[in-house]
Amino acid sequence: MKPAIVRTVLSLALSRQWPIHQLDVKNAFLHGTLEETVYCVQPSGFEDSTHPEFVCCLNKSLYGLKQDPRASYSRFATHLLSLGFVEAKSDTSLFVYQHGSDTAYLLLYVDIVLTASSPGFLRRIISALQQEFSMKDLGELHHFLCMRVQRCGQGLLLSQRQFMLDIPAC
């Protein structure tokens, strides 16, 4: 994800006074469907004693696989496209929805940042996503990409205070 895209989306949302929410997909890496054949040894406690040489063929992604990030991203992106979002050409982490007066921007990385042109529209998008994925709305954006996000008057303060001690508070 490009930092300039994050700053642009947050700036647009602030200037238009849109709500900005943070979402968390529970067990995100377990939603992906593998595109290639992946085998693994029989899991501990589930070995077939009559066939100890057998291996398991995975149908879904599993934590620890190098295919995890791509498989889960693909699964989520496909669903966003089915809802009418369009993937931005400038950054594959940005999805844009525009229909009439309704507009939304969704930043997809490990966490999700969602902003929309109205609170009601934001709620409808969250509901549509929750129908497909086990997901939690964490409320107003407060932490993203190792950055702490705080509202300060008409703006946002982005900081990495946990890493740097000399950043002043609002």
The whole-number pLDDT of residue 68 equals 52
The whole-number pLDDT of residue 126 equals 95
The whole-number pLDDT of residue 164 equals 53
Q: Is 160 exposed, middle or buried (0-12, 13-18, 19+ CB in 10 A)?
A: exposed
The whole-number pLDDT of residue 82 equals 94
Query: How would you write the pLDDT of the chain (170 residues) with one tens digit per residue?
Result: 688 898 899 999 999 999 999 998 765 445 556 566 767 777 788 788 888 888 877 666 555 555 555 657 788 898 999 999 999 998 989 999 999 999 999 998 877 999 999 999 999 999 999 998 888 899 998 877 777 888 888 888 777 766 555 555 55
- At position 40, the amino acid (one-letter code) is C
The whole-number pLDDT of residue 33 equals 61
Q: Is 128 exposed, middle or buried (0-12, 13-18, 19+ CB in 10 A)?
A: middle
Q: What residue segments make up the domains of the chain, in order of their start?
A: 3-31+66-141
The whole-number pLDDT of residue 89 equals 92
The whole-number pLDDT of residue 88 equals 94
The whole-number pLDDT of residue 20 equals 94
Tokens linked to 12 = 């647009």
Task: Please state which CATH class domain 3-31+66-141 belongs to.
Answer: alpha beta
For every residue of the chain, DSSP letters joined together read: --HHHHHHHHHHHHHTT--EEEEEETTGGGSPEEEEEEEEEPPTT---TT-TT-EEEEEE--TT-TTHHHHHHHHHHHHHHHTT-EE-SS-TTEEEEEETTEEEEEEESSSEEEEESSHHHHHHHHHHHHHHS-EEEEEE--EETTEEEEEETTEEEEE-TTT-S-PPP-
The whole-number pLDDT of residue 106 equals 97
The whole-number pLDDT of residue 74 equals 82
